[in-house]
Amino acid sequence: MRDDNAHGMNRRSLIVKGLAAGGAATLMSGAAKVQTAESLRPRRVFEGAVRNVVLVHGAYADGSSWSEVIERLQAAGVTVTAVQNPLRSVADDAAATRLILARHAEPTILVGHSYGGTVISEAGADPHVVGLVYVAARAPDAGEDYAALAKTFPTPPANAGLVFKDGFGSLTEQAFLHDFANGVDQSRARALYAVQGHIAATLFADRTTVAAWRSKPSWYAISKRDRTTAPELERFLAKRMNATTIELDSGHLSLITHPRQITELILRAARHNG
């Protein structure tokens, strides 16, 4: 009889222990889910009135080139969108940018990398734009022959690798990896090469109708080891627009090799306009 009672007690003990263990596992699972949800929420460390950023890529990249900067801006609680330029004309790219600006419909910092600087110089006149950030970027004046201006500065090595076929141009793999993406991890550089944009043969001959940097506060990130745009030209452009300027020991793709510094510059622009 005692043996049966002992057996029954052992069974009850095992059931109680099992229920307790199951309950603990459920609590732990719930805690893990809460922790995961918390980790996905943006850390609102940025204190500023301007909380919208639109990013414009250059001629040989696409919106994914901003991914490292996007992650950091989102972590700061900023609403950020990357434009996908058709690269057919400055007018088309400016229109694509204005479409994104209209969706934000709030004060916005407009950021351009490389050729994207031409686009933000044109589209930046939009009333939603309160500040411009140039990252190793072109910054033509209204109606200016930018190609003629660039020829007065040292010729960057990447120029020799721009090849046109059937009305569209792109960089050779050699030029892309060693000149455009110098300083970028090789596996990342090859992924960028796979999504390289193909520009219309007339794109770089297009002229802007306005220079938004003449009426909007501007910031500029110079790349000291740039092999796509001459650093001397970048310094000239930054000085001409009276931009708040930083210099990075970087190649042309500082948005990838130095995303923290580029993010900080963008947030600095947002704070200034807050």
- For 63-102, give the DSSP string: GGGGHHHHHHHHHTT-EEEEE----S-HHHHHHHHHHHHH
Residue 172 neighbours by CB distance under 10 Å: 15
For the beta sheet containing 218-223, the strands, ordered from the edge strand earlier in sequence to the opposite edge, are 79-83, 52-56, 108-113, 129-135, 218-223, 244-248
The pLDDT of residue 105: 82
Residues 150-202 have pLDDT tens digits of 999 999 999 999 999 999 999 999 999 999 999 999 999 999 999 999 999 99
Helices (H), 142-240: 146-150, 173-175, 186-194, 231-240
pTM: 0.84
Helix (H) or strand (E) holding 198: none
- Mean pLDDT in residue range 201-209: 98
Q: Find the angle CA(79)-CA(67)-CA(196) to the nearest 5 degrees.
A: 125
**pLDDT: is 257 or 30 the higher one?**
257
Minimal CA–CA distance to 248: which of 235, 41, 174, 207? 235
Q: In the predicted model, is pLDDT for residue 25 greater than 50?
A: no
- Predicted confidence at residue 49, as pLDDT, reads 78
Distance CA 81, CA 48 (A): 18
Tell me the β-bridge partners of 64. Answer: none
Q: What tokens does 167 get?
A: 């009305």
Q: Is the pLDDT of residue 203 over 50?
A: yes
How much is the mean pLDDT over the chain? Answer: 88
